[in-house]
Amino acid sequence: MNKTKGIKILKNIIFAILIFFIVVVGIILFINLLVRPTAEHKRNISKTNAKIIVDINDKSKTRTPIIRTYKEEEYKKFSKDKIRRIKGVISGKVEGDIPAVHLKGDKDIIYISFIKDEEKIVPDYIPEIEIEIPEDEVSTAPYSTENAKIIKDKLKNEDGKYSYKLKRYRTQYEKYFMHYNIIRIYYEVDGERYISTFGLNATNADDGANFLRTKH
């Protein structure tokens, strides 16, 4: 009887160790997913047969914007909570997950190509751009922008190539800055309206710049 009881206790101990091991492995995998940048195949996702490609001067070879594309009619029906989640996705998972546009020389220009059914196309009309600038530049949640400043404009078109020159949209008090902007591109293809949205940092700092040095 004692032998049977001992075997049962041993089985329970082994089972508990296995459960503990599985939980620990699960936690490690979960943390690893949280701290890793967004995978390349998850960066440009469209819920339609249309999408945009964003090219940035001096961009990192390993970072491209995180873009989400929807039909405009569908997007306008999304709840505030869903819009907030989309903004959270395009802002990246970890620091450095989204590229930065350097507001120096011609590096402050972004180039946008339009794709439908995997072929490059020209929109029906000049696409519109909407830039959402968070009110609080030190906000830890850049996608919580109920009181954000909104800039509306049109893309520049030169021989079917679309571009836009970004600017510093806040008063600059410090020597170096890096601010987050939410960008939305509205365009029409074959009579259908679409919206593509992504996040970009804008900075005047070169690699290795000391952001603690605030004096000009």
Q: For 161-210, write each residue's pLDDT tens digit.
A: 899 999 888 776 677 888 889 999 999 999 999 999 999 998 887 665 65
Give the C-alpha separation, 58 to 63, whole Å.
11
Q: Which amino acid is at 99?
A: P
Total number of domains in the chain: 2
Q: What percent of the chain has pLDDT over 90?
A: 45
Is there a single domain that holds both residue 70 and residue 2?
A: no
What is the domain extent for residue 107? 40-203
Is there a single domain that holds both residue 3 and residue 53?
A: no
Is there a single domain that holds both residue 29 and residue 44?
A: no
**96 is a domain residue:** yes
CB 168 within 8 A of CB 204: yes
- Find where tokens 């004096």 sit: 215
